[in-house]
Amino acid sequence: MSEARHILTILAVEDLERSVAFYGTAFGWPARVEIPVYVELELPDGRGLGLYVKEAFASNVGQVPTLAAPTRIGGTELYFHVDDLDDAIERLAAAGAHCLSERAPRDWGDEAAYYADPDGNVLVVARSMDAKPA
């Protein structure tokens, strides 16, 4: 059986320029692909995060995705471990992320904070409670 390896997550977005600016401020990942309807950011482990204008996203799947209404969240969560949780939270706030759940210890052993990006995707920044603070 062939082993599946996760290499890329693509999010449909309402406003590409806004989303690229948001993720640039929040995480600072460089763009590795840039075309008028799509920007792919390179994460530190070599995986990618694609931001695709929702109408162009439809060219691959035959339907325009429904995005979350303002002040609502969608059904997508991206969970990131970070070295410096304070810095990650400050960067998300500077990018304009909407706080969903303040930084707190979680039952699974992480200290985590939940935010929403401009399109309602849930972003979690976390660190293991066993890890030493950066």
Question: What are the counts of helices (DSSP H) followed by strands (DSSP E) for the chain?
Answer: 3, 8
Instruction: Give the model's pLDDT for residue 71.
Output: 79
Averaged pLDDT for residues 98-114: 97
Q: What is the DSSP letter of 45?
A: T
Question: Is residue 6 helix, strand or coil?
Answer: coil
Q: Give dist(CA 11, CA 19) in Å, integer.
A: 10
Instruction: Give the model's pLDDT for residue 66.
Output: 83
State the average pLDDT for the chain: 93
Instruction: Give the model's pLDDT for residue 41.
Output: 98
- pLDDT category at 96 given cuts 50, 70, 90 is very high
In CATH, what class is 8-60+74-128?
Answer: alpha beta
Minimal CA–CA distance to 41: which of 4, 74, 78? 78
Instruction: Give the model's pLDDT for residue 133.
Output: 63
- Reported as a single tens digit per residue, the pLDDT across 18-71 is 999 999 999 999 999 999 999 999 999 999 999 999 999 888 888 888 877 777
Is-contact 97 50, C-beta < 8 A? no
Instruction: Give the model's pLDDT for residue 69.
Output: 78
92 burial (CB, 10 Å; 0-12 / 13-18 / 19+) is buried
N- to C-terminal Cα separation, the chain: 41
